[in-house]
């Protein structure tokens, strides 16, 4: 089936001209873009809270008011940035934001000395009552059909096949193909990248010097699409799970983005859901303990809408973790069992030391079925000692039940993972044998000609 959907061609400008009077108003916009870009880099410090200063400035009712109020808001913004200097030293997004504020102060002839009363944030409106739960085909949309995924499909076609990817814990990955892997992947890694959106995570060590890592940052970019949505960026990190996009909005923009892309806060600071109806996609982001989890439901057609010439090999949700980044948790489990038989706990660091037996008992409280979600919970408790990973595995499975289209595939067991690995090994062996055969044929041909 050939999709009628094409992403709008949005060509970037050749460069950012931020010098001179005409360019100065764009300085802060440039700094915001840089802040999001550099937040993707694994070297950025978790302690740098420059984004919090920007959020407080955008929430202030003064920055768009009269000149006196604007100067007051800028001085408060500048003071906030200065207070982060120690933790943000060397962070490029911090320096870009600082220079952007100084340019704006020069433009408005604001001095750094003056009143700095803290602007009061706008009081958010109470959330509307939740709408009734409807299927994709039942949802109403005031926008054009192209902005509602199922309605945009040609008539008399089969219903779309929805797939699921999840990323949680230390960290564990469930791909769109229902493969379950445990990975190292420290630093920044792309989960998804296609014509419609990109998702990238940054994983940090759970403890200094520890091999255990977990997701501390997440960035999602929804690309501009026809008349449906403007480009939007959602960025979350430890202790900052916003209920809005990076520009402060909660939807895809006027006129049609209001109903086709929106951020819904389920539990403040703990659970956010992003609904992108124009691509039939739902994303769930949670903070459990100090780390983030990610889950997505997406049509198979959208999953495979690859940019022309783009190499998809590194996108984890599509192809899984690279072989050199995968961890065989069975070996960890075996060593834990040996440690248990000698009476030595597996972990002496973290919030609590667990033996193999106590880890299984703790995970059994939330995950009664001993599938790979249960096994991942045991693995995380043994490797980190952090009891919050129990809830991370529990919520990851709850998201599967909400987002996966096939109830028979909710649970994945160890035998399923082993059979998948066996098939993969057979495929590699087949490719190797075909290559050897090709070399032998080529050598034989050369010998005949000579």
Where are the domains positioned within the chain?
24-107, 145-319, 329-409, 416-450
> How many CB atoms are closer than 10 A to CB 281?
23
Helices (H) and strands (E) in the chain, counts: 14, 12
Q: Which of 150, 186, 199, 153 is nearest to 318 (CA)?
A: 199
Is-contact 286 293, C-beta < 8 A? yes
Query: What does each C-alpha distance from 94 to 49, 74, 106, 188, 208 come to in angstroms?
Result: 9, 16, 19, 19, 24
Here the tokens at position 355 are 């033996």
User: For residue 253, what pLDDT band results from cuts at 50, 70 and 90?
Assistant: confident
Greater confidence (219 vs 146) lies with 219
How far apart are alpha carbons 200 and 223 in whole angstroms?
14
* Strand, helix or coil for residue 297: strand
* Strand, helix or coil for residue 429: helix
Can you give the pLDDT at residue 61?
A: 67
H or E segment to which residue 374 belongs = helix 372-384
Can you give the pLDDT at residue 43?
A: 43
Strands (E) in 206-301, as ranges, are: 213-222, 232-237, 261-267, 271-276, 281-288, 291-299
List the end-to-end C-alpha distance of the chain, in Å, as a whole number: 50
> How many CB atoms are closer than 10 A to CB 231?
16
Average pLDDT over residues 336-358: 58
Q: What is the pLDDT of residues 371-417, one digit of tens each?
A: 999 999 999 999 888 999 999 999 999 999 999 999 999 999 987 65
Question: Given phi > 0 = left and psi -120 to 50 = alpha, else beta, which region is 335?
Answer: alpha
How far apart are alpha carbons 416 and 307 in whole angstroms?
31
Q: Which of 269, 212, 210, 213 is nearest to 238 (CA)?
A: 269
Can you give the pLDDT at residue 447?
A: 64
How far apart are alpha carbons 369 and 343 in whole angstroms?
26
Can you give the pLDDT at residue 44?
A: 43
Can you give the pLDDT at residue 90?
A: 66
Can you give the pLDDT at residue 50?
A: 75
Report the CATH number of the 145-319 domain: 3.40.1000.10
User: For residue 316, what pLDDT band results from cuts at 50, 70 and 90?
Assistant: very high
4 phi, psi to nearest 5 deg: -90, 0
Here the tokens at position 408 are 């028979």
pLDDT of residue 89 exceeding 50, the answer is: yes
pLDDT of residue 30 exceeding 80, the answer is: no
Can you give the pLDDT at residue 350?
A: 41
- Cα dihedral value 368, 321, 167, 149, nearest 10: -120
- Secondary structure letter of residue 120 according to DSSP: P
Q: Which of 275, 270, 231, 274 is nearest to 32 (CA)?
A: 231
Here the tokens at position 83 are 């207070």
> How many CB atoms are closer than 10 A to CB 28?
23
H or E segment to which residue 354 belongs = none
Strands (E) in 246-399, as ranges, are: 261-267, 271-276, 281-288, 291-299, 326-327
Is-contact 62 72, C-beta < 8 A? yes
CA 144 to mean position of chain CA atoms: 29
How far apart are alpha carbons 92 and 39 in whole angstroms?
9
- Cα dihedral value 384, 390, 395, 396, nearest 10: 50
* Strand, helix or coil for residue 174: strand
Greater confidence (390 vs 82) lies with 390
Please state which of the ranges 92-101, 150-159, 179-188, 201-210 shows the lowest mean pLDDT.
Answer: 92-101
List, in order, residues 6 or more apart from 153 with CB less than 8 Å away.
Answer: 160
């Amino acid at each position: 089936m050939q999709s009628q959907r094409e992403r709008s061609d949005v060509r970037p400008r050749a460069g950012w001209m931020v010098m001179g009077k005409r360019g100065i108003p764009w300085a802060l916009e440039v700094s915001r873009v840089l802040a999001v870009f550099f937040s993707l880099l694994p070297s950025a410090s978790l302690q740098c809270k420059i984004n919090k200063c920007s959020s407080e400035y955008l929430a202030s009712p003064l920055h768009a008011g009269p000149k006196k109020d604007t100067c007051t808001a800028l001085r408060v913004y500048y003071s906030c940035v200065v207070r982060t200097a120690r933790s943000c030293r060397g962070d490029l997004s911090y320096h870009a934001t600082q220079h952007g504020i100084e340019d704006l102060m020069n433009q408005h002839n604001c001095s750094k000395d003056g009143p700095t009363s803290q602007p009061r944030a706008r009081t958010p409106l109470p959330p509307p009552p939740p709408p009734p739960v409807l299927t994709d085909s039942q949802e109403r949309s005031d926008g054009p059909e192209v902005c509602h995924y199922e309605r945009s499909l040609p008539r008399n076609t089969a219903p779309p096949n929805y797939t699921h990817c999840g990323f949680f814990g230390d960290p564990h990955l469930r791909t769109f193909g229902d493969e379950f892997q445990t990975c190292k992947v420290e630093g920044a890694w792309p989960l998804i990248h296609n014509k419609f959106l990109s998702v990238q995570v940054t994983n940090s060590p759970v403890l200094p010097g520890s091999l255990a890592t977990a997701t501390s940052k997440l960035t999602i970019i929804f690309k501009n699409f026809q008349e449906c949505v403007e480009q939007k960026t959602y960025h979350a990190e430890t202790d900052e799970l916003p209920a809005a996009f990076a520009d402060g909005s909660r939807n895809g923009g006027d006129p049609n983005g209001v109903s086709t892309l929106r951020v819904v806060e389920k539990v403040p600071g703990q659970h956010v859901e992003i609904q992108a109806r124009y691509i039939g996609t739902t994303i769930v982001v949670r903070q459990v303990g100090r780390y983030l989890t990610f889950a997505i439901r997406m049509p198979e057609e959208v999953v495979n809408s690859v940019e022309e010439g783009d190499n998809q090999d590194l996108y984890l949700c599509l192809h899984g973790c690279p072989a050199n980044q995968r961890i065989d948790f069975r070996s960890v489990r075996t060593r834990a069992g040996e440690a248990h038989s000698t009476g030595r706990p597996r972990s002496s660091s973290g919030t609590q030391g667990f033996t193999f037996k106590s880890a299984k008992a703790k995970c059994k409280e939330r995950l009664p079925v001993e599938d790979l979600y249960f096994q991942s919970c045991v693995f995380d408790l043994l490797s980190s000692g952090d009891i919050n990973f129990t809830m991370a595995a529990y919520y990851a499975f709850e998201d599967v039940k909400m987002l996966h289209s096939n109830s028979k595939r909710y649970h994945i067991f160890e035998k399923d993972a082993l059979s998948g690995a066996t098939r993969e090994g057979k495929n590699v062996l087949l490719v190797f044998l075909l290559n050897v055969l090709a070399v032998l044929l080529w050598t034989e041909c050369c010998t005949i000609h000579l």
